[in-house]
């Protein structure tokens, strides 16, 4: 075998080895990026879950207090008006339930490998669950503001905040309920961009994982 042929073979082996090392380094870089994106999605999902639980808790508690302290019109000292709209608070409760459940499902599928293997890396865990939570947060906000548009019929927030300065030693504690309702509304509004961010990150992660499987 001539020396030129030996040099060509050595050069070819070196190029193959260099390409292999480059491909391995690229895969490692992609894996690190996927892990960073995945960790960011998990952190945002946990934050959204906490917000959803809070919205559900304060809204459901307001409804519970209302039903516990409601007095029929036969009484001369009713705590609540005869015409009352519970739909805005009910919308927040429904939205909080869907957001909480979908984010729990998303976390379970992200953390438990056995569940991920049932549907693949790009199915419910990464896209469907955050998409459902995003839609639920938008619908809840839309229903809340649509039902809250009346200027003649009070709801839990308008009524409790109107009388929040009245000192009360027992339920319904209008001041506390006013703050709870305001917190629920604020968190519900913040959930819309938060769920949108989770959905965007989940989509980016799905693209990275698909590219990694093709590499």
User: 102-119 pLDDT, tens per residue?
Assistant: 999 888 877 765 455 555
Average pLDDT over residues 34-62: 93
Task: Assign 52 a pLDDT band (cuts: 50, 70, 90).
Answer: very high
Q: Would you kindly state where each structural domain of the chain is located, as residue ranges?
A: 28-214
Kindly report the CA angle at 57 between 161 and 145, in degrees rounded to 5? Answer: 50
**What's the rounded mean pLDDT across residues 31-56?**
92
What is the secondary structure of 45-104 as a DSSP string?
A: HHHHHHHHHHHHHHHHHHHHHHHHH---TTSSS-SS-SSEE-HHHHHHHHHHHHHHHHHH
* Least confident segment among 14-23, 24-33, 44-53, 153-162: 14-23
- State the pTM of this model: 0.81
* pLDDT, tens digit, 9 for 90 and up, residues 169-200: 888 899 999 999 999 999 999 999 999 999 99
Taking the C-alpha atoms of residue 70 and residue 47, their distance in angstroms, rounded to an integer, is 35
Output DSSP code: residue 26: H
Q: Any long-range contacts for 123-129 (C-beta under 8 Å, 24+ apart)?
A: 126/41, 126/202, 126/205, 126/206, 126/209, 127/199, 127/202, 127/203, 127/206, 129/102, 129/103, 129/105
């Amino acid at each position: 075998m001539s020396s030129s042929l030996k040099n060509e073979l050595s050069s070819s082996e070196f190029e193959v080895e260099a390409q292999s090392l480059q491909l391995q380094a690229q895969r490692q870089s992609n894996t690190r990026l996927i892990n960073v994106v995945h960790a960011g999605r998990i952190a945002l999902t946990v934050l959204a879950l906490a917000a959803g639980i809070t919205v559900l808790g304060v809204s459901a508690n307001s409804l519970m207090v209302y039903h516990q302290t409601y007095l029929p019109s036969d009484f001369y000292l009713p705590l609540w008006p005869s015409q009352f709209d519970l739909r805005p608070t009910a919308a927040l409760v429904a939205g909080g339930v869907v957001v909480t459940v979908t984010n729990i499902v998303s976390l379970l599928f992200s953390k438990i490998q056995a569940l991920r293997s049932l549907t693949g890396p790009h199915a419910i865990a990464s896209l469907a669950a955050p998409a459902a939570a995003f839609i639920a947060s938008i619908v809840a906000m839309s229903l809340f503001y649509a039902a809250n548009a009346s200027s003649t019929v009070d709801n839990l927030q308008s009524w409790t905040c109107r009388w929040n300065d009245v000192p009360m030693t027992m339920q319904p504690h209008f001041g506390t309920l006013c703050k709870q309702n305001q917190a629920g509304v604020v968190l519900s509004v913040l959930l819309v961009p938060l769920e949108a961010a989770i959905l965007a990150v989940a989509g980016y992660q799905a693209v990275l994982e698909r590219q990694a499987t093709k590499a």
